[in-house]
């Protein structure tokens, strides 16, 4: 949409259905038709072919001349004050002055533009001028091309600088329009230069029958615009209506010297930036529509006469009609066969040269060449159906503006696509001959979401309302997980039925992508949700008879699907991705402009888990509903003894999210996300075993209250409770080898907490046999070995744990302790120094306490070793008082007082304090005091603490 955009007076009628995203489920943001850089504006008025160059003109290129500007043009100069107020930009558009005069010999469109290069980034675009024209009915006259460098005027107007290009910008969309581009690339352009040029396009597209239509833009994509002016001159008796999208555009009109002059002006417009996330109707604000059509009835009559020329029956056409009649006797089947023929046997290709921009080719020609664009195909379809006795009328629609075409002026330029309105069984079917990927009955192949359309039939006074997308079924997905045994991997069968547009996208993707890329597209979302899946065969596609729908079936092995967090319940993920994707927002930042929403319609997704044994003790069901003006979500949950079902239906209602509703909508999404993606928890034991666990744990609770258990800490009591549950989980047979290893590890840890080291070792060894690469098992074995005074084993397992999990600091402490007790104090000291390079470990204080002890064992300065290792907090937490005791900054009694938690004794802290005080006493040579402290450490009974086992070994050593 640059300042060189000269009027094009045409539909891009041949809009072929795009290959939307690689597959179904696959493109969730509507693919907006790109706004062309030179956005259409429109010529009109029936006239002769383009006139030859005027006498004296220097004709050097076909259809391009050098001429003086028309005498009727009123030159407009740059408003320097406005230009000075423009924001800085690589390129500024100081002036865009368009002047159009409707003359008997043809419309003349004059344009005068001034650009300024603001910095080096603007040199390339500033130096390039491109003027498009259709040589079938237009010629281009160049009037002026100047570069202003300060006050220096440099004339660049020379036909030798002009290159005539035949670029066919829409060829990739299977369209040729014959348009030519006069391209000029300026040399020696510098920052600060102004480029001023003027040109005229002379001629009209005869297809409009002498009526004038046009669309102009009031902003430029090149940069901010100082002044935009459009001056329209027409005979007073010609009623040229206008629609202005932005109130900032000033409009005035007067009659003088035999012409009606209408003037449109806009000042200080920001740069145009195309945003595919914006609703298409917002771009109407930047347009001026001009039309000589009085109403939609005139447009319909005009369209009817165009299609009437094409819808002529000939022997060739009748032969096709009779062929269809022989194959099908019912009107419904005849419509289906005719639509199949037009969609599949006539390939899509548009030749839109000159009047063919809107004039369909005859049915006979389309049959002969076996190609056509949307208007050609709709004319052929209507002709075939008419011959079969089925009423069919071509209809004009907008693939881009949809229902907002109704807000534009009555004009052919309100539309960019053609389909057919077909009467069948008392209903109107809106059928599109370009959609070659459709299948099934005609009733299943309607175009939805196009909003409003105009029947190409005289007497049609209003736009018709086409089927809305909100009630269109888009997709139905059923994910079925089957677990005959929870201890083994199961299977997932995912079946998605795509309907309508989405089915067509899948077929198109299958036809145009490699097998590998198609497979990647259709399974990508599932693998992101369930990363453990292992694909079991390629995707299977199956068409559904008589429906424009198909099934895509994906099969997987589940792999290691279940997790076992905290060894309590089996947990697996689920997600209803076909409901998530249409709701996703492009970002989470509040918007200042409306947002174009994903494809409206109905989406259904259910996830079913089937088990080979009773999993849930009793049946249950519940519902969740969220209804707002953007969407409806209806969820249903049902549990049966051997099955869990999660079913969701999303009805995407809104097509536009207003900026004012952004926060409210985002909050609604945050509310429902956990419903669409979460985890399913499954008991790791059978219902009978669950009852047994509850009974045993209740008995333990009663024994604990009576004091019969002999347990001194809450951790020990919890360990007893956990052991009851773990015993039943291990017996239930629902754990895979890896999960069983986790349970055995947990069992070993709980046994260690109860001081049952040998039993703990046995459980951990079983875990290691099942999962030798489990870092947690090796780390636990290292601690168990240390507690059993097997220091070499402790070091070995700690090192294996670190190989598997290098960032885990716990095994490093275990290795340092094992070396300390083995007498390798230097290695212990070095390990601790390395650990304390992390600030978090300094703040915890334990590392500094042990570094002090190891340094003193080596005869080094313990206080000097830890002098700089002070916690960052203003009031460091426990065991900082122990560190102060080591440093002589705290008395033992003060440290003991600090060990209390909320005024109550804390056995764990006391165990630690007595142990570390004993270590210091040993280093100070007071064995008697050390013995007393060690005995008091053991008297706490906190067998789950490392310091308890360490106190045991130190006391044994003293006793020896």
Which pLDDT does position 708 carry in this prediction?
81
Mean pLDDT, residues 697-704 = 91
- How far apart, in whole angstroms, are the C-alpha atoms of residue 442 and residue 446? 7
Q: Write down which residue in 292, 326, 341 finishes a domain.
A: 292
- Of 434-448, 467-481, 580-594, the one with minimum mean pLDDT is 580-594
pTM: 0.84
Q: Which of 251, 275, 292 is the last residue of a domain?
A: 292
CA pair distance 853, 930, nearest whole angstrom: 14
Domain holding 128: CATH number? Answer: 2.60.40.3140
Residue 305 or residue 712, greater confidence: 305
One domain, residues 119 and 203: yes
pLDDT band at 61 (very low <50, low <70, confident <90, very high): confident
User: What DSSP letter does each residue of 164-219 carry, written as one string?
Assistant: EE---TTGGGTEE---EEEEEE-SS--TT-EEEEEEEEE---GGGTT--EEEEESS
Same domain, 514 and 372: no
* CATH of residue 457: 3.10.620.30
Q: Please determine, for residue 87, whether its predicted confidence score (pLDDT) is greater than 50.
A: yes
Instruction: Report yes or no on 18 lying in a domain.
Output: no
Read off the pLDDT band of 587 (50, 70, 90): confident
Distance CA 476, CA 605 (A): 6
Q: 292, 325, 350 — which closes off a domain?
A: 292
Clarify whether residues 125 and 267 are in a common domain: yes
Whether 419 is in a domain gets the answer yes
Question: In terms of C-beta distances under 8 Å and separation of at least 24 residues, what long-range contacts does 809-816 make, across chains too?
Answer: 809/835, 809/838, 809/841, 810/779, 811/778, 811/779, 811/782, 813/846, 813/847, 813/850, 814/779, 814/782, 814/783, 814/786, 815/782, 816/850, 816/854
pLDDT at 105 over 90: no
Q: Which two tokens stand for residue 533?
A: 């899946």
In a domain, 950, yes or no: no
Residue 553 neighbours by CB distance under 10 Å: 15
pLDDT for 79 equals 94
CB atoms within 10 A of CB 7: 29
Residue 590 clears pLDDT 50, i.e. is over it:
yes
Query: Is the per-residue pLDDT at 356 higher than 90?
Result: no
Which of 103, 93, 150 is closest to 125 using CA atoms?
Answer: 93
| pLDDT for residue 519 | 95
In a domain, 824, yes or no: no
597 and 532 in a common domain: yes
Element (H, E) at 249: none
338 contacts: CB under 8 Å, gap ≥ 6 = 324, 381, 384, 385, 388, 390
The total of other beta-carbon atoms located within 10 Å of residue 611's CB is 21
Structure tokens at 125: 């675009």
- The token pair that represents 261 in the structure block: 């002059």
Contact 535, 38 (CB under 8 A): no
> Rounded mean pLDDT of 296-317?
97
Does residue 830 fall inside a structural domain?
no
Instruction: Please report the pLDDT score of residue 27 as a whole number.
Output: 34
Residues 285 and 336 in one domain: no
The Cβ-side half-sphere exposure at 76, using a 13 Å CA radius, reads 21
Within a domain: 42:
no
| Structure confidence at residue 178 (pLDDT) | 64
For the chain, how many helices (H) and strands (E)? 27, 37
25 pLDDT exceeds 60?
A: no
Q: Please, which residues have CB within 8 angstroms of residue 221's CB and are 6 or more apart in sequence?
A: 1, 2, 37, 271, 272, 273, 274
pLDDT classification of 687: cutoffs 50, 70, 90: very high
Task: Tell me whether residue 758 is in a domain.
Answer: no
Kindly report the length of the chain: 960
E strand or H helix at 748, and its extent? helix 737-753
Assign 709 a pLDDT band (cuts: 50, 70, 90).
confident
pLDDT of residue 586: 85
Cross-strand pairs, 423: 428
Q: Is the pLDDT of residue 56 over 90?
A: no
Q: Please give the pLDDT value at position 93.
A: 97
Number of structural domains in the chain: 3
Same domain, 182 and 283: yes
Please check whether residue 884 lies inside any domain of the structure.
no
Domain of 522? Answer: 471-680
Lowest mean pLDDT: which of 489-503, 641-655, 700-714? 700-714
Backbone angles phi, psi at 853, to 5 degrees: -65, -45
Percent of the chain whose pLDDT exceeds 90:
85
User: What average pLDDT is seen over the chain?
Assistant: 90
Closest by CA to 938, choosing from 958, 904, 903, 911, is 911
pLDDT over 70 for what percent of the chain?
A: 92
Token pair in block for residue 892: 């033992």
**Which tens digits make up the pLDDT trace of 809-861?**
999 999 999 999 999 999 999 999 999 999 999 999 999 999 999 999 999 99
Say what the pLDDT of residue 23 is. Answer: 32
- Together in a domain, 263 and 400: no
Residues 247 and 325 in one domain: no
Same domain, 253 and 374: no
pLDDT band (50, 70, 90) for residue 170: low
- Omega prior to 254 cis, within 30 of 0: no
Q: Are residues 221 and 103 in the same domain?
A: yes
| Same domain, yes or no: 550 and 639 | yes
554-563 exposure pattern, b = at least 16 Cβ within 10 A, e = fewer: bbbebeebbb
Q: At residue 924, does pLDDT exceed 50?
A: yes
What pLDDT is attached to residue 176? 55
Contact 529, 677 (CB under 8 A): yes
Q: Are residues 448 and 486 in the same domain?
A: no
341 CB contacts (<8 Å, ≥6 apart)? 320, 324, 384
pLDDT above 70: residue 607: yes
pLDDT of residue 15: 30
The pLDDT confidence band at residue 494, using thresholds 50, 70 and 90, is: very high
Q: Which residues sit opposite 89 in a β-bridge?
A: none
């Amino acid at each position: 949409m640059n300042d060189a955009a000269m009027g094009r007076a045409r539909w891009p009628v041949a809009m072929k259905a795009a290959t939307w995203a690689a597959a179904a489920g696959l493109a969730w943001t509507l693919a907006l038709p790109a706004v062309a850089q030179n956005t259409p504006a429109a010529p009109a008025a029936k006239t002769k072919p383009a006139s030859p160059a005027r006498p004296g003109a220097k004709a050097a290129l076909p259809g391009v001349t050098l001429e003086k500007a028309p005498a009727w043009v009123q030159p407009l100069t740059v408003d320097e004050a406005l230009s000075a107020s423009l924001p800085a930009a690589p390129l500024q558009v100081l002036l865009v002055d368009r002047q159009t005069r409707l003359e008997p010999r043809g419309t003349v469109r004059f344009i005068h533009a001034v650009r300024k290069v603001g910095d080096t980034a603007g040199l390339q675009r500033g130096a390039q001028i491109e003027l498009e024209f259709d040589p079938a009915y237009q010629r281009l006259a160049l009037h002026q091309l100047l570069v202003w460098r300060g006050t220096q005027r440099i004339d660049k107007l020379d036909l030798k600088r002009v290159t005539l290009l035949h670029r066919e910008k829409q060829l990739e969309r299977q369209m040729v329009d014959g348009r030519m581009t006069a391209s000029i690339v300026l040399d020696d352009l510098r920052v600060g230069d102004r480029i001023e040029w003027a040109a005229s396009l002379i001629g009209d597209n005869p297809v409009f029958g002498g009526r004038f239509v046009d669309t102009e833009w009031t902003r430029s994509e090149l940069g901010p615009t100082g002044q935009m002016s459009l001056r329209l001159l027409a005979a007073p008796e010609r009623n040229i209506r206008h629609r202005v999208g932005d109130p900032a555009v000033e409009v005035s009109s007067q009659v003088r010297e035999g012409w009606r002059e209408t003037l449109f002006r806009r000042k200080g417009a920001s740069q145009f930036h195309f945003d595919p996330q914006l609703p298409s109707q917002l771009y109407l604000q930047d347009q001026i529509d001009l039309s000589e059509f009085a109403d939609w009835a005139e447009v319909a009559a005009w369209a009817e006469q165009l299609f009437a020329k094409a819808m002529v029956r000939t022997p060739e056409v009748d032969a096709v009609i009779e062929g269809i009649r022989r194959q099908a006797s019912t009107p419904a089947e005849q419509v289906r066969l005719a639509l199949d023929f037009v969609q599949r046997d006539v390939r899509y290709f548009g030749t839109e040269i000159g009047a063919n921009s809107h004039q369909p080719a005859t049915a006979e020609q389309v049959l002969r060449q076996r190609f056509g664009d949307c208007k050609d195909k709709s004319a052929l379809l209507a002709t075939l159906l008419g011959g079969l006795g089925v009423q069919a009328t071509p209809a004009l629609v907008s693939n881009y503006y949809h229902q907002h075409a109704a807000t534009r002026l009555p004009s052919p330029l309100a539309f960019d696509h053609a389909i057919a309105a077909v009467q069948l069984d008392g209903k109107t079917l809106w059928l599109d001959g370009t959609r070659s990927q459709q299948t099934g009955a005609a009733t299943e192949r309607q175009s939805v979401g196009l909003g409003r359309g105009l029947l190409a039939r005289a007497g049609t006074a209003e736009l018709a309302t086409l089927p809305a997308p909100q009630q269109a079924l888009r997709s139905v997905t059923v994910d079925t997980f089957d677990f005959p045994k929870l201890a083994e991997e199961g299977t997932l069968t995912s079946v998605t039925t795509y309907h309508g547009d989405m089915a067509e996208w899948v077929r198109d993707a299958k036809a145009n992508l490699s097998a590998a890329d198609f497979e990647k597209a259709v399974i990508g979302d599932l693998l992101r949700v369930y990363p453990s899946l292992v694909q079991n065969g390629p995707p299977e596609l199956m068409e559904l008879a008589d429906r424009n729908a198909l099934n895509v079936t994906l099969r997987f092995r589940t792999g290691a699907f279940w997790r076992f967090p905290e060894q309590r319940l089996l947990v697996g993920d689920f997600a209803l991705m076909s409901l998530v994707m249409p709701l996703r927002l492009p970002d989470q930042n509040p918007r200042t402009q409306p947002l174009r929403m994903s494809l409206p319609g109905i989406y259904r997704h259910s996830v079913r888990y089937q088990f080979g044994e009773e999993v849930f003790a009793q049946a249950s069901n519940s519902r969740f509903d969220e209804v707002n003006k953007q969407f409806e979500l209806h969820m249903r949950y049902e549990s049966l003894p051997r099955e869990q079902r999660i079913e969701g239906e999303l009805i995407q209602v809104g097509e536009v999210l207003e900026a004012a509703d952004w926060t409210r909508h985002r909050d609604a999404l945050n509310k429902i996300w956990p419903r669409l993606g979460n985890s399913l928890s499954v008991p790791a034991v059978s219902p009978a075993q669950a009852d047994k666990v509850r009974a045993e744990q209740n008995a333990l609770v009663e024994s604990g209250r009576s004091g019969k258990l002999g347990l001194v800490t809450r951790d020990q009591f919890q360990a007893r409770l956990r052991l009851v549950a773990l015993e039943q989980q291990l017996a239930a047979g629902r754990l895979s080898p890896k999960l069983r290893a986790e349970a055995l590890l947990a069992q070993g840890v709980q046994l260690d907490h109860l001081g049952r080291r040998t039993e703990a070792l046995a459980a951990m060894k079983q875990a290691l046999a099942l999962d030798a690469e489990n870092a947690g098992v090796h780390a636990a074995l290292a601690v168990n070995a240390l507690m059993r005074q097997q220091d070499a084993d402790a070091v070995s397992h700690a090192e294996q744990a670190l190989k598997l999990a290098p960032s885990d600091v716990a095994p490093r402490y275990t290795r340092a302790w094992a070396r300390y007790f083995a007498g390798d104090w230097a290695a212990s000291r070095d390990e601790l120094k390395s650990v304390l390079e992390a600030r978090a470990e300094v703040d915890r204080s334990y590392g500094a306490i042990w570094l002090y002890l190891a340094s003193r064992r080596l005869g080094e300065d313990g206080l000097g070793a830890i002098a700089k290792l002070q916690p960052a907090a203003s009031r460091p937490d426990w065991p900082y008082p122990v560190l102060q005791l080591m440093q002589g900054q705290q008395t033992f009694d003060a440290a003991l007082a600090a060990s209390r938690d909320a005024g109550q004794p804390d056995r764990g802290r006391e165990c630690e304090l007595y142990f570390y005080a004993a270590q210091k006493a040993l280093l100070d040579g007071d064995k008697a005091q050390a013995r007393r402290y060690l005995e008091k450490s053991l008297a706490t009974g906190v067998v789950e603490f490392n310091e308890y086992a360490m106190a045991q070994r130190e006391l044994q050593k003293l006793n020896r």
